[in-house]
Amino acid sequence: MTHSRLTPSLVLFAAFLLFLPSLRSGLEAQFVARDPGPRGAPVGAGNPIAGLNNSQTAFFEDGMLRFGEVVSVSGTLLGEVSPGLGPGFNSNSCGSCHSQPATGGTSPSTTAYPFVGPNPQVAVATLDGATNTVPFFITLDGPVREPRFKYLLASNGTLSNVRDGGVHNAFTIQGRVDATMVFGMTGGLQTCQLPQPDFQQMNHLGNLIFRIPTPVFGAGFIENIPEATLVANLQSNGTMKAALGISGHFNRNPNDGTISRFGWKAQNKSLGLFAAEAESVEMGVSNEVFSDERGYPPVQPPAECLFNGTPEDHTNMQAGNDGAQATSNAVEFANFMRFLDQPRPACSGSGCPQNVQNGRSVFNSVGCALCHTPSLQTAGSSFSTQLSNAQANLFSDLAVHHMGSGLADDIIQGTAGPDEFRTAPLWGLGQRVFFLHDGRTQDLVQAIEQHSSAGSEANGVVNNYHHLSEAQKQDLLDFLRSL
Ligand code: HEC
Ligand code: HEC
């Protein structure tokens, strides 16, 4: 038989048979649910709560300015007006790490939002003559990262079994023009010599973990949800939670025993405490709450790296009665965060497109909402009526849950164990770029899949998610990106 003797219809039939398998799998693969990616303009966060009065607005604006201020060692370099940077630091202003999609947010990314710029930690490493090398886990298009070590090293350089868990500094002030001081008529010289930690070695020892910044939009609402409301919410839907393997408990402040709620493990009690601690651990600025200079705990900072009296940030006694001017930076950071409004979703309720409305029902029906509580009510607030008895649409129970071996970072903070994390609030998720505590993914599908591993309380819910049709999964993802 030659080619010429094949009838045209036979050729067609042969071609059909040949392509049938790929046609069939093509039809099946035709639709796979995907993260639609970060939502574009308008930016739904970064404004003050609507309706603040003039003096509250003045505190917000002053706080925002200070939140964005760049800190230097002496506070005298051009454009770097606040003193106290270092000896160790992770960046040089609150706003550098909390910037996306607006001041108060989280890790910037040029890929999704060119206007917020790349990871600021690359430039800050060598700013003003600093001699830091950029550690391997910090890249221009990756998330801002804060390193933590799980255990202390023994004197012979191996891992000890004593837990560390604290924040360490990616950078030091060594080499900066303002980390050298000539003093007196003698012309004596004080120069800071302080090498960076050996991150390669820590990584090699399996001792290194990362945290990315959590956004602070709506933080004043989170601060003001009463303990009774949190406890009642965690106890609600008990049968359903038990059937799915969800329990959870609160992290509590070790000193006064009340629920703590900020940070990836809900390790910090309040905005005042978090602001002061961040000022100390992220920028190296001593303040009225964390009053000494920090070295590489438990190792003290070298004396030649200390250039200022302590605390570096403090109440301004010269300001007399001028409210916002008299307060320390740490207090003003907290006021700014307190008055930042909760993120605005793209739409609400029946005003949302059908797919988003469907997605919200899927979110409830598969059990996401059993941890990610859509809304909780605040108590009366002495700061502003807007923070009083308000609905905080945070999508979190503020409890910590076992999240399994895949997410575990082997860090204990308060009563939050090695694999326990605070249910991450999902408000503002639509305009976020990096997800999960270490910023391991930019893909919401991955963020959901990662909830599932040995020992995770979310395994039952992820199993429900796996049983959804691709169309239902898509509605869920569209809903998440509307937040
Ligand atoms: C080097 C980057 C960096 C800088 C600079 C920085 N932060 Fe953060 N911020 C983080 C990271 C990382 C976390 C999450 C830490 C954790 O939970 O372990 C965080 C979390 C927070 C939170 C907790 C919010 C929540 O709901 O969980 C607050 C509040 C906060 N930062 C305030 C500040 C303030 C105020 C400043 C300036 C004094 C500041 N941060 C400077 C990286 C930074
Ligand atoms: C058992 C409680 C629990 C359940 C159920 C749960 N989550 Fe989470 N979720 C968490 C915790 C805890 C984190 C933070 C984990 C981490 O960063 O290591 C988180 C993080 C996330 C994040 C990343 C947020 C961020 O800030 O990076 C997304 C997105 C998310 N959850 C969506 C979902 C969806 C969708 C479902 C339902 C399919 C779901 N979650 C079910 C507890 C839960």
- For residue 383, the CA-to-ligand 1 centroid distance in Å is 22
Nearest CA residue ID for atom 42, ligand 1: 213
pLDDT of 15 above 60: no
pLDDT tens-digit profile of 275-312? 999 999 999 999 999 999 999 888 899 999 999 999 99
Ligand number nearest to the C-alpha of 147 = 1
- For residue 214, the CA-to-ligand 1 centroid distance in Å is 6
pLDDT of 10 above 50: no
Q: Does residue 370 contact residue 205 with C-beta atoms inside 8 Å?
A: no
Cα–Cα dist 218/226, whole Å: 15
pLDDT of 179 above 60: yes
Q: Does residue 282 contact residue 146 with C-beta atoms inside 8 Å?
A: yes
Which string of b and e fits 406-434 if b means at least 16 CB within 10 Å? Answer: bbbbbbebbbbbebbbbbbbbbbbbbbbb
pLDDT tens-digit profile of 351-388? 999 999 999 999 999 999 999 999 999 999 999 999 99
Cα–Cα dist 207/196, whole Å: 16
Burial zone of 20 (CB within 10 Å; 0-12 exposed, 13-18 middle, 19+ buried): exposed
Cα–Cα dist 66/333, whole Å: 7
- For residue 464, the CA-to-ligand 1 centroid distance in Å is 34
Cα–Cα dist 159/230, whole Å: 39
Nearest CA residue ID for atom 32, ligand 1: 275
One-letter identity of residue 172: T
- For residue 199, the CA-to-ligand 2 centroid distance in Å is 29
pLDDT of 222 above 90: yes
Ligand number nearest to the C-alpha of 285 = 1
Quick one: average pLDDT of 188-193? 92
Cα–Cα dist 289/247, whole Å: 34
Q: What is the pLDDT of residue 1?
A: 38
Beta-carbon contacts of residue 57 (< 8 Å; ≥ 6 apart): 48
Q: What is the pLDDT of residue 9?
A: 53
- For residue 436, the CA-to-ligand 2 centroid distance in Å is 8
Residue that is written with structure tokens 């956004």 in the block: 215
Ligand number nearest to the C-alpha of 218 = 1
- Lowest mean pLDDT across 16-30, 287-301, 390-404, 456-470: 16-30
pLDDT level of residue 4 (50, 70, 90 thresholds): very low
Q: Is 332 in the pocket of ligand 1 (CB under 6 A)?
A: no
CA of 267, closest atom in ligand 1: 17
Residue of 107, 45, 91, 94 whose CA lies nearest to 66: 94
Cα–Cα dist 483/480, whole Å: 6
pLDDT tens-digit profile of 109-163? 887 777 788 999 999 999 999 999 999 999 999 999 999 999 999 989 899 999 9
Cα–Cα dist 214/426, whole Å: 11
Residue of 198, 172, 182 whose CA lies nearest to 283: 172
- For residue 86, the CA-to-ligand 1 centroid distance in Å is 16
> Pocket around ligand 2: residues whose beta carbon is below 6 Å from it?
246, 366-368, 370-372, 401, 403, 407, 421, 423-424, 426, 429, 435-437, 444, 447-448, 451, 457-458, 461, 465
Is the peptide bond preceding residue 42 cis, with omega within 30 degrees of 0?
A: yes
- For residue 364, the CA-to-ligand 2 centroid distance in Å is 13
- For residue 102, the CA-to-ligand 2 centroid distance in Å is 23
Quick one: average pLDDT of 314-327? 81
- For residue 52, the CA-to-ligand 2 centroid distance in Å is 33
**What's the number of CA atoms in the CB half-sphere (13 Å) around residue 77?**
18
pLDDT tens-digit profile of 102-112? 999 999 988 77
Nearest CA residue ID for atom 16, ligand 1: 263
Estimate to the nearest angstrom the gap between the alpha carbon of 169 and the chain centroid: 17
Nearest CA residue ID for atom 23, ligand 1: 263
Q: Does residue 112 contact residue 37 with C-beta atoms inside 8 Å?
A: yes
Residue of 456, 440, 448 whose CA lies nearest to 404: 456
Ligand number nearest to the C-alpha of 275 = 1
Q: What is the pLDDT of residue 27?
A: 52
92, 94, 171, 409: which to mutate for ligand 1, most atoms within 8 A of CB? 94
Ligand number nearest to the C-alpha of 439 = 2
CA of 90, closest atom in ligand 1: 1
